[in-house]
Structure 1
Amino acid sequence: MAQYFKQLAMAPCSTAARCFFFSPSPSLLLLCSFAALHYLPLSSAIDSISANNSLKGNQSIISVGGNFRLGFFTPTGSSSLNFYIGIWYDKISVFTPVWVANRATPVKDPTASELRISGDGNLVLLLLDNSSIIWSTNVTIPSDSATVAVILDTGNLQLRDESNSSLVFWQSFDHPTDTWLPGAKLRFDKLTNRTQPLTAWKSKVDPAPGIFTLEVDPAGTYQCYMLWNSSRIYWSSGLWNGNTFGSIPEIAPSRNFGYGYQFVDNEEEFYFAYTIDNPNMISRNVLDHDSGLSQQWTWTESSKSWVLYWTQPPFRCSVFALCGSFSSCNDFTSSACNCIKGFRIKSRSDWDLGDKTAGCERITPLQCEQNNSIDSQRDGFFMMTNVRLPDKADALAMARTSEECELACLNNCSCNAYSYNTTGCYVWHGDLLNLQEQYNQPDAGTLYLRLSALELQSSGSNKNTVVTWVIVGVVSTIVLLCLAIVTVWIMISKRRSRKMIQNLNRAQSSLVSFTYSELQHATRNFSEKIGGGGFGSVFKGSLPGSVAIAVKKLEGLRQGEKQFRTEVGTIGRIQHINLVRLLGFCSQRSEKLLVYEFMPNGSLNSHLFDRTAPSTVLTWRTRYQIAIGVAKGLDYLHEQCRDCIIHCDIKPENILLDASFNPKVADFGLAKLMGRDFSRVVTTLRGTPGYLAPEWITGVAITTKADVYSYGMMLLEIISGRRNVEQTEQSSDLYYHPTSMASKLIAGEVATVLDGGLGHEEVDMEELERACKIAFWCIQNEESCRPTMGQVLQVLEGVVDVDMPPVPRSLQLIDKSESETINFFH
């Protein structure tokens, strides 16, 4: 990563400019120093186990710098009395183990167990009553070597020669469990011809090896795999090109912050490893037991919590058989996994702890064995549409119609489901694995799930109820024609309400296709307009149950219905706490509408610039959290979506606030939906002066750094509470605030740039200076000098500090001539 900063320093920034550069935060150094005082002085700290001392009971050893501790522990939340030898962080408030020795063989009594150097020099865990070995480093050590086990400040436990520390016989970094620390290796040992992978815990409280592993390709290709049950690859990193993997652009030097990655191949091994440039940053990569995802976490002392930096693969349902048998995966629900109809969780306790390998089991056994009985009821099928079909299907070439396919499955007691499409008949015997609902992909299909007749009776009861109501309606019509007319209208209204309620319930986990008349009714014929812009007008509406919605009527869209539905389906899959949620859509004839959740506190601009409503003035704490939230939303769009999405129109009008003033980025999918050329034209014509990155004007290709520029301009407005470009009271001239803000920041007068409506006593000056610095880094003219949104987020959260930015060249030009200001931003 140091090389990356050297390259940036040589980038074509302005003459006096230095490119974006981080340095250790003094506040973090102070926090780390304070935390270190909580532990033993370095001179008295014991960091090793030798032949003369051992470890048992509540004893532990701590690294020289106090970063890591080794000892017996019980997993957080565990109700059992299982104890493990492990390593955990010793300077953070959340207990976080990073390595476990006896992960599959716990001990019941740590006072009756001992970690010591054995007679052959290995580090072993013994049961004292019978001297049986529970765990051992199990390496060959020369007979003339005296060994010692030392825990390092990197979290690495080394077994090495006592008189020669460079002679290392074994180290935990070569044998990771579920956590990959900076400096540790994902490796293939050429001498033993074995991989040493990362293996997830079995559950939240059981560190035994689970079913998910991450390893380098043992075939020798420069890439990494994630495997289910050591047999099925569900994710590949793509080939290493010297800087990054094909499927992980996040770790490329030009996009990644603070991390350095390397792939090494020599005569003994080839391995993948990473380092961190900032020694004060605490970071770890974990193969999650619950989701099977590889997650990079960074510790944030200010919030005393782990913050997710990036994850692979980006979608949980990409993980093979994540939910176990007879269960379905859904990326749009918080839990992801649910038993399919007619099934229930097989082991509730394991499921709640994140171990879903047991899957689900039938509630009612099939009746197929009694089909020859006159009194028995035959099994039936429940239709599941828009699903990713389960794994391991058998093709039946003899079944040439849907009816023949159904009958073939029904006549085989081991058949649990079938599917029929243009390519033929497919049946599934045994467990159903890797089923996914709300699967908006070209290979989506319809699955007919076999269920007991008893499980299907509820559906039959519903049909009987409908028939009964029809008969009642007919009789009522015959008896009293006038009342029947009124009743029909009431029933139509109720049916519409029921349908819209059903749509609302379905919207909790998937997009809803509304009809134009439904949205016309919900918005009272589009009577209450609450916003508008180049993409169309927005109207407030209400679904049954007083659920408020916002309906956007798109203008100028020339897409066909199929393409529109495909694009909307892609946008609908994107969900984040800081992105406005898309609930549904309408595509009827020439009408194209999008249905969003309603934000009661409106847009950010109304709170920043409306001086007629002082009650809406945002506090500094709220403004700062809004800045962080918007950064998180944009970072998600740029780095964590399947396809990188560039918003193209970041400004306060497109930042909406919920009831708690949490920010949500709106219109994030319109650039993708409208097409880049259309978006660019519209944005250029309607954009408020001051938000457009220089590359929009010059016509070069647009990247995510265009959003970064717009974000920086908006951040300056959040700080000052004023539009970047304002007309002066004395004349019609335009006044450009960022120029004066830049000069005040450089002069050390940062408090003077603050919104006058805020009291300085309530403002955290460190946060203010941090926000000003990163804002001016964002609006550098050269893209290479701007940070990514992930880097912006880390600065705002105080993970790292940032150097004083240079004055952007455009501001220097604007400062010379007001006319140049107007020409440049138009």
Structure 2
Amino acid sequence: MKPQSILNPILFSLFFFIITTESADIPLGSTLYASNQNSNWNSPNRTFSLGFISEGPTYFAAVTYNGIPIWRAGGVDTGAADSSASLQFLSDGNLRLVNGSGALVWQSSTAGRGVSSAALDDSGNFVLRNGTTSVWSTFDNPTDTILPSQNFTIHNVLRSGLYTFHLLSSGNLTLRWNDSIVYWNIWFNSSSRWNESTGINSMNFSSPILGLQPIGVLTLSDPTLSAAANVVYSSDYAEGSDILRFVKLDDDGNLRIYSSTRGSGEDTVRWSAVGDQCEVFGFCGNMGICSYNDSSPICGCPSENFELIDPNDSRKGCKRKMEIEDCPGSATMLDMPHAKFLTYPPELSSQIFSVGNSACRLNCLVSGSCVASTTLADGTGMCYLKVPNFVSGYQSPSLPSTSYVKVCGPVSPNPSASSLNAGKDNGWRLHAWIVAVVVVGTVLCLIMLEGGLWWWCFRNSPKFSGLSAQYALLEYASGAPVQFSYKELQRSTKGFREKLGAGGFGAVYKGALANRTIVAVKQLEGIEQGEKQFRMEVATISSTHHLNLVRLIGFCSEGRHRLLVYEFMKNGSLDNFLFTTEEQSGKLLNWEYRFKIALGTARGVTYLHEECHDCIVHCDIKPENILLDETYNAKVSDFGLAKLVNSKDHRYRTLTSVRGTRGYLAPEWLANLPITSKSDIYSYGMVLLEIVSGRRNFEVSEDTNRKKFSVWAYEEFEKGNVKGIVDKRLHEEVDMDQVKRAIKVSFWCIQEQPSQRPMMGKVVQMLEGVMEIERPPAPKAVIEGSASGTSVNVSSNVSALSTAVASAPAPSSSSSFQTPGISSSVSSKNVERASSSLLHSELK
């Protein structure tokens, strides 16, 4: 026999021995020790390992991926052990974690169930087996993480501190604080679409299973579904070939999808359930206030009347330095502007009133069970009273709310950054400042002198102008708003020669930037704001990006000149295509384009209302403000401009006025009621009716029996004459299901009571056909402004006195679109009476 033929079986046997050793089952009686962290039970490919990890003085028995823990024996909260701990796989089949003293920390409770071996497989699942049958596994008993190929069912719970993650039989995914407060909920509907909501889905599955695909898609499967439904995608969806993605509930209460490249030992967040960390209930503990330092959330106390419970951990909350019952005098209310106390189910159903700011403050002050209150300044007039169970706060300059906290007087607000340094000895600092100012001033003067000479010599050089164009292109490409000089915009528009149109905020001109980008330049009128506030509003508008919103490229703020530079929309505004004459038949839009525009507009407004960091109320939705690009995609323009206008006309009762357009104004504008996002929805409803009909909603003719078209259209709808409402110029086949949906949605949107109008996200769902639409009640006809002009000014503010005394009308209980949770066991009349009495006593 040849030597090679003898060697081959030996090598094969050795290779087989190595493989079986690597993938061998863990025998009964095996033990791991915390004192020897190099001893582990590994998966066959050594991707996963089970052993001890240390976090400070605490030790955990954990399954890890490249050092990242993805399962802990006993979980994060109850699995902590000491440095002498051991993980024992006993001969009776029980797996247990004990401290050095012998005290039991955790066990699998599998004794006497025939367990004969254990193994950690390449998917990260640690299994106790009876032969080939799984008796217990980490996949069936997760702690805070879900891995790919792991089935998460309604019987499983992820837990981290006081936070838990659940899958309900309805398909809902929920995050809860203390197993009670639901602060995040995403639900499944019949068309495999997912929506965030504070309600609970009414669907029921037989055995829903949540799973994470290796490519980064979180899916829900059930025997009742024809295919698995995609819940969310990670931001690196389907990228890379050697990446482990996992879902983890972190100790800050947020559920996230992470990615980790093999061998890196690092993980990267790819998706977060709660986009705003301060919206997580209890993040800063009881009476703690969450805010942001740059981009990171930080925790603090409402005022110096409070102190941290644990100075070393601000997330444990705050306590009063003096309890209310120990006050030497009467209690008072601490005012906290731009702050709110989080209110989620089941809290939402109690202690909610529709009153003004002063009444909300006083109602809490005189109530023995109230410790704090929040009043919303978003036009709803809602007041939330907080009882002393657990109060979680959020403060940000962008929040349209004011909160009040009951304290023992005197009130001691938190010091500002400048006042913190006021008490320090600044004598030596003054001397240093003088020296620094002189030195810096001298250097700046030299730089300016040299720069001025250089510009004077080369200002007319072709190379210089080309370089400027390159910098302009670079600044534009960065996505940040570009600041232009007035002369630059004069030059780019050729002296404002080609006028594209004029609106309530000023005229618009066509221009070309230095990099040859075609733009639309809007000259704003009636802007009385200061430089700083104007730039802040421009920054807000420019940071708002969506496929169905016109992009703001730059601005000019120079002296009295205020201009905005937008991307150019080749096909102009929607009104040019809807209200065409017979001579302009070439500009007539078919039904497919019209429905696409209606849906695109709704999505753009939904983004402004519900998906932006700050809710933006447009205040002037009309066909003239819906622009079309070269492929007839709808883009909403002029959003955010209402806040830039500061009228000096003192004929109006309130300090601030905004502009609207006749025919599209919601009734509350003229009734001097709060203006909210529901006012935009009314305007959109009128526009949607015009898209269907091709006629102005306020048009009166013999065809409509001398009635306003919107009123006549509803009468025809009631008669079943839907085709009579559709634009007669649409000779081709139209999708009547889409038409009926659009007409129903338009009538829901133009309801007189704001509470009866749907939210814009619901409008999108109804138009898409994924949500059933009930038959709308008849919208009441209202007279809007002066008939002599197309533009009117209406008040957007309601005085605190009128809000508190009159109160907002309670939402109709018959409406299927009533805002959830806006109800109270106290009748609205009693609330008005109590609020009026309290407010009267305060004014005295």
- TM-score (normalised: structure 1): 0.47
Which structure has more relative contact order (CA 8 Å, sep 6+)? It is 1
**For the pair shown, which has the larger CA radius of gyration, 1 or 2?**
2
- TM-score (normalised: structure 2): 0.46
